[in-house]
Amino acid sequence: MKFTRILVAGAALAAAAAFATVQAQEMKFFKIASGSAGGTYYPIAGLIANAVSNPPGSRPCDKRGSCGVPGLVAIAMSANGSVANVNSIQSGVVDSGFAQSDVTYWAYNGSGVFDGKEPLKKLRVLANLYPEHIHVVVRKDSPFKKVTDLKGKRIGIGLQASGAKVGAVLILEAHGMKENVDYQAEYLNSTQSIERMRDGQLEAMITVTGYPQAAIAELATTVGGRLLPIGAKEAAIVKEKAPFYYDEKVPAGVYEGIDTDTATLAVGAQWLVSADASDELIYDITKALWNKNTRKLLDKGHAKGKAIQMEKALDAVGIPMHPGAAKFYKEAGMKVPAN
């Protein structure tokens, strides 16, 4: 009986010591707004949240534990995408979020699709992550060969507050097609659009996303899908209006049954934070993002994770970087863009 009491007492003391250690380490929550289910933002945000988190009581990095920021719990949140995310960061609803580089620039400067609106001056860049490609998706058995064939048709162009919608409208306008005049716009996320395409209730979907995108892959493996190319003339119109876009392709084999390269445009996906975030916190998060253990998580966690490379972190940065992130990149010997 006495031995049992000693064991219990010892366990209680150990538990109390562990609790005291956890209590001594302040827990911080950090919200990352991403995109809707079926897209690429959400799973990538989940990977990054996992990489930069290190909750109180976690095993240390040097003991094969978490290499994130001590005491930090990052949370990947499903959201409506770029436009919604920049507004949420500005208002303080979230700590950070993903957005296209064009949307980021326009939001910060009150130009482009934000023309006439108050500039969102609290936006800061932590890192450019990976390229997002415009996908013009139709069913494999459809008669459509080029974007202009979609005139008068029902097209899913993304949620109202998404960067996908911004890109879709740019592409369609470059082909001489006005929203809800020359086509019927459906404001749906990728999963919803693909479901309707599969059921014959929608002729096409246009989105801006990193490939391979889950919803498009699902269409390709069920009823079959095709990607319509963007012509050089129309691409030039888009690039003149939105200089952050550049010529790219979706390679053959990315989606089942699509065996040729598809000419398209791409734009950078960026991780943004608020200017109100402390320099120390953002420095630590940036350091955790580019930790060698994070590299393993990104490479294995998602096909697009391999495209997230530190040497590309400063590409297409058109607004100020957060000072904490800038400090890390300067220490790494990288040239940080001037404000």
Please tell me whether residues 224 and 280 are part of one structural domain: no
Choose one of 223, 244, 267: the last residue of a domain.
Answer: 267
Average pLDDT of the chain is: 90
The alpha carbon of residue 244 and the mean position of all alpha carbons in its chain are separated, in whole angstroms, by 16
pLDDT tens digits for range 209-220: 999 999 999 999
User: Which residue range forms the structural domain that includes residue 260?
Assistant: 132-267
How sure is the predictor about 25, in pLDDT bands with cuts at 50, 70 and 90?
Answer: low
Q: How many CA atoms lie within 13 A of 132 on its CB side?
A: 31
% pLDDT > 70, the chain:
92
Q: Tell whether the model's pLDDT for residue 7 goes beyond 80.
A: no
Please tell me whether residues 120 and 140 are part of one structural domain: no
Tell me the mean pLDDT in the region 217-244.
94
Please tell me whether residues 96 and 136 are part of one structural domain: no
Please tell me whether residues 275 and 241 are part of one structural domain: no
Tell me the mean pLDDT in the region 269-285.
98
Please tell me whether residues 250 and 148 are part of one structural domain: yes
Please tell me whether residues 158 and 127 are part of one structural domain: no
Please tell me whether residues 86 and 194 are part of one structural domain: no
Q: Tell whether the model's pLDDT for residue 188 goes beyond 60.
A: yes
Name the residue with higher pLDDT: 184 or 3.
184
Q: Tell whether the model's pLDDT for residue 230 goes beyond 80.
A: yes
Tell me the mean pLDDT in the region 108-116.
91
pLDDT at 308: 96
Please tell me whether residues 248 and 154 are part of one structural domain: yes
- What is the C-alpha separation between 97 and 74, in angstroms, rounded? 12
